[in-house]
């Protein structure tokens, strides 16, 4: 899907690129598939800021997405819609046998009127959900369960996909978007295809106001602050402190491992840093 560009009648419009929503059909949003979304402003249950530079933004309602995909029978795509809570588009589907409405992540290339289904016997077609043991090697998949029945957790962002590389015993080897190779149980469900809105990574907001609409407040640099506020602050004019970039509490920002030491590494076949 191409990006939408603008005539440069202001400095911010010159570089602005937004997603082209012409492929979306919109339509009424079923209230039963939404719920209120309260914003925290980056504060925890004690009212203290734990995530900086959060606040404001447009009011949103959360769309309940079916990441489990265990509903039997064929479902027709009724509408393709925008979701303010995620970068990918979502598809509203209606099951033909029960008439039940549900939201799923819209894969690339899906259209209104297409039929999707889930189960071991479902055909290999974008939007269909199957266990990994029923998916051929080399297939692109998304919304992958880490264990059977745990709902799709991996590969849900716009334009992303994982690839089924091989099957060993009761496990499947997947290549994730980061380049990491990982074991996932063969009974876990995954959805065929690539996630929609592929051009999302090329979007340019253009102006500060659009960032505020997303709930992001200004992010001043540490060297710009006073010494009482940041380890890099202080000094007359521009000054380098000599220490590596860090947070206000001194946590190193670059080269600092953030993944917890746990069972996750047991299922790792190849690290994303390995060539």
**pLDDT band with cut points at 50, 70 and 90 for residue 1:** low
Residue whose structure tokens are 């500060």 = 208
Please give the Cα distance from 165 to 251 (Å, whole number).
37
Please give the Cα distance from 100 to 33 (Å, whole number).
11
Please give the Cα distance from 118 to 142 (Å, whole number).
14
Q: Which DSSP category does 12 fall into?
A: H
Judge whether 109 and 92 are in contact, CB under 8 Å. no
Residues 6+ apart with CB under 8 A from 175: 162, 163, 165, 181
Residue whose structure tokens are 């499947």 = 172
Judge whether 80 and 24 are in contact, CB under 8 Å. yes
Please give the Cα distance from 63 to 250 (Å, whole number).
38
pLDDT in tens, 165-193: 999 999 999 999 999 999 999 999 999 99
> What would the mean pLDDT of 131-154 be, rounded to a whole number?
96
Phi and psi at residue 259, in whole multiples of 5°? -75, 135
Domain 221-264, architecture per CATH: Irregular (4.10)
**pLDDT band with cut points at 50, 70 and 90 for residue 236:** confident
Domain boundaries, the chain: 3-201, 221-264
Please give the Cα distance from 107 to 111 (Å, whole number).
9
Q: Which DSSP category does 136 fall into?
A: P
> What would the mean pLDDT of 63-84 be, rounded to a whole number?
95
Instruction: Tell whether the model's pLDDT for residue 117 goes beyond 80.
Output: yes
Domain 3-201 in CATH: superfamily? Nucleic acid-binding proteins (2.40.50.140)
**pLDDT band with cut points at 50, 70 and 90 for residue 264:** confident
């Amino acid at each position: 899907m191409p990006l939408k560009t603008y005539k440069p009648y202001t400095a911010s419009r010159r570089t602005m690129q937004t997603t082209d929503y012409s492929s979306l059909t919109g339509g009424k949003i079923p209230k039963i598939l939404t719920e209120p979304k309260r914003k925290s402003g980056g504060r925890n249950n004690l009212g203290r800021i734990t995530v900086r530079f959060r606040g404001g933004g447009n009011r949103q309602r959360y769309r309940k997405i079916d990441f489990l995909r265990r509903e039997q029978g064929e479902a027709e795509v009724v509408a393709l819609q925008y979701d303010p809570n995620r970068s990918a588009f979502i598809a509203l589907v209606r099951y033909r046998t029960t008439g039940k409405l549900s939201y799923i992540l819209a894969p690339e290339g899906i259209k209104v009127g297409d039929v999707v289904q889930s189960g071991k016997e479902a055909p290999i077609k974008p939007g269909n959900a199957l266990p990994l043991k029923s998916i051929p090697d080399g297939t692109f998949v998304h919304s992958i369960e880490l264990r059977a029945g745990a709902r799709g957790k991996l590969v849900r962002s716009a334009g992303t996909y994982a690839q089924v590389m091989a099957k060993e015993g009761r496990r499947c080897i997947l290549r994730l978007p980061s380049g990491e190779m990982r074991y996932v149980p063969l009974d876990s469900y995954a959805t065929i295809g690539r996630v929609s809105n592929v051009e999302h990574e090329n979007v340019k907001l253009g102006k500060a106001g659009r960032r505020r609409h997303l709930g992001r407040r200004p992010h001043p640099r540490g060297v710009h602050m006073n010494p009482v506020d940041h380890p890099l602050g202080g000094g007359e004019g521009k000054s380098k402190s000599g220490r590596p970039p860090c947070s206000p509490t001194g946590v190193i920002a670059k080269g600092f491992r953030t993944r917890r030491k746990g069972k996750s590494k047991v299922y790792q076949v190849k690290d994303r840093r390995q060539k």
